[in-house]
Amino acid sequence: MAEPADCFDDVLPEALRFRAPAPLVDIGANLTHESFTRDMDAVLQRARAANVGTLIVTGTDLEHAEQAIELARRHPGVYATAGVHPHDASRWDNNMARAMAALYTEPEVVAVGECGLDFNRNFSSPEAQERAFEAQLGLAAESGLPLFIHERDAGKRMHDILHAWRDDISQAVIHCFTADRETLYRYRDLDLHIGLTGWLCDERRGHHLRELVSDIPLDRLMVETDCPYLLPRNLPAKLKGRRHEPALLPWIVHEIAYWRDISEQALAAATTQTATAFFRLPVIKEPQNG
Ligand SMILES: [Zn+2]
């Protein structure tokens, strides 16, 4: 079956039909979220039209990881992660560990995660979170896969745990980084990668990130929507339904480039090169038709 042409439908208002100046990789798209089930093909088509041709779909528990793998099998340019989110860490047990280990042999799975620590909400106890996280670090070490990590209000503990594991794991990205400069520098010392979302587009709580983006080395920086969450608050037009989607990633690149004082083209190309190496993706070429 032929892929549909890379053009926009009328879901996004014209002011939100961006096109990135170089192909982008959205390293954090929660496309297994129920809000995407009814129009997945259109979402992916709009992403391609925006020059976001590669998507890493986040697997946050066993069920969603399996769904992410299914999506990756059906759609070119789509890959999956598989892990247990800290919110669900209390469900971690040996059966879960075995099931996850089996998924890491699937070619569509490019990272262990989303896993980590979230001491902001503590939906699972901190003890349960640490147990599940350490178990997944072990699986990452065994499989050699990189890690896709969630951390909220747990920067010090995250650093200490990763410091102990650093020589055993390959690479790790702190996705949706929102912490302070001290935490960023600690992560830099461990040679971690950093994922940035539209959080810095938020005038209420993202201001501190604007001053930090220049402190993230270009070869350690990747970009993500974390859709359907975190719709950028400063988009140039209103979006009905307020569901974030991969086609809006170029706006986040535009914002980061502005605060970093670098061209969008250079930032787009660098983040894609970094993501391609990090997730060991096939090299991404500019599509022939524009
Ligand atoms: Zn997260």
Work out the angle at residue 34's Cα, subtended by the Cα atoms of residues 147 and 9, and round it to the nearest 5 degrees: 100
C-beta of residue 217 within 8 angstroms of C-beta of residue 193: no
Whether the bond into 114 is cis, omega within 30 of 0: yes
Q: How far is the CA of 288 from the centre of ligand 1 (A)?
A: 34
Q: How many domains does the chain have?
A: 1
Q: What distance in Å separates the CA atoms of residue 16 and residue 286, rounded to the nearest whole number?
A: 21
Residue 182 located in a structural domain: yes
Question: Residue 99 maps to which CATH number?
Answer: 3.20.20.140
Residue 9 located in a structural domain: no
Structure tokens at 172: 């790790």
What's the pLDDT score for residue 1? Answer: 46
Q: How far is the CA of 13 from the centre of ligand 1 (A)?
A: 28
Q: What distance in Å separates the CA atoms of residue 277 and residue 239, rounded to the nearest whole number?
A: 33
Q: Is pTM, for the whole model, over 0.85? A: yes
Binding-site annotation: residue ranges for a divalent metal cation: 114, 150, 175, 226
Residue 122 located in a structural domain: yes
What's the pLDDT score for residue 134? Answer: 98
What's the pLDDT score for residue 283? Answer: 81
Place of tokens 């670090």: 137
Binding-site annotation: residue ranges: 114, 150, 175, 226
What's the pLDDT score for residue 285? Answer: 65
Residue 37 located in a structural domain: yes
Residue 290 located in a structural domain: no
Q: Which residue range forms the structural domain that includes residue 48? A: 23-278
Closest among 189, 113, 185 to 151, alpha carbons compared: 113
Place of tokens 């990189």: 146
Residue 59 located in a structural domain: yes
Residue 145 located in a structural domain: yes
Residue 288 located in a structural domain: no
Averaged pLDDT in 10-residue chunks for the chain of 290 residues: 69 97 98 97 98 98 98 98 98 97 98 98 96 98 98 97 98 97 97 97 90 96 98 95 97 97 98 98 66
At 111, phi and psi to the nearest 5?
-160, 155
Q: What distance in Å separates the CA atoms of residue 163 and residue 191, rounded to the nearest whole number?
A: 10
What's the pLDDT score for residue 2? Answer: 47
Q: How far is the CA of 26 from the centre of ligand 1 (A)?
A: 14
C-beta of residue 216 within 8 angstroms of C-beta of residue 194: yes
